[in-house]
Amino acid sequence: MGKKILVAEDSSVIQNITRKVLQFQNYEIISVKNGQQVLDKLNKDHYDAILLDINMPVMDGMECAQKIRALDDDSKNNVPIVAITGNAKNYSMDDFKAVGINEYLPKPLNFDNLVNVVNKVTNN
């Protein structure tokens, strides 16, 4: 099995397509629907990257990224985070960097871009 990617996305459609595209590239995909579930999963397991939707219920991607970066465990607080957002105009790359997000992908997702960015952040 390849590297493990945690996908946090409240849209089942985007979650499923992302899963299929990345599984085809030999990534193992675990999916959740909000930021709190990301933190719960991260407490139990290690991931090679996190794809984080910015607009999610319960806890949004910006808050979730800040909480990941504030974790005490260095193997977890340094995980690469890729933001996925349909509202990129609301945030600049500086805003993303300020909360610890490494890269961002605009929606609608370009799947070649998705694969390239995930490969880049996981050094594949």
pLDDT by residue (tens digit) across 27-61?
999 999 999 999 999 999 999 999 999 999 999 99
Residue (of 124, 123, 118) closest to 5 by Cα position: 118
The model's confidence at residue 1, banded by pLDDT at 50, 70 and 90, is low
Please give the Cα distance from 118 to 48 (Å, whole number): 9
Q: What percent of the chain has pLDDT over 70?
A: 98
User: Does residue 86 surpass a pLDDT of 90?
Assistant: no
Please give the Cα distance from 121 to 108 (Å, whole number): 20
pTM for the model: 0.95
Contact 35, 58 (CB under 8 A): yes
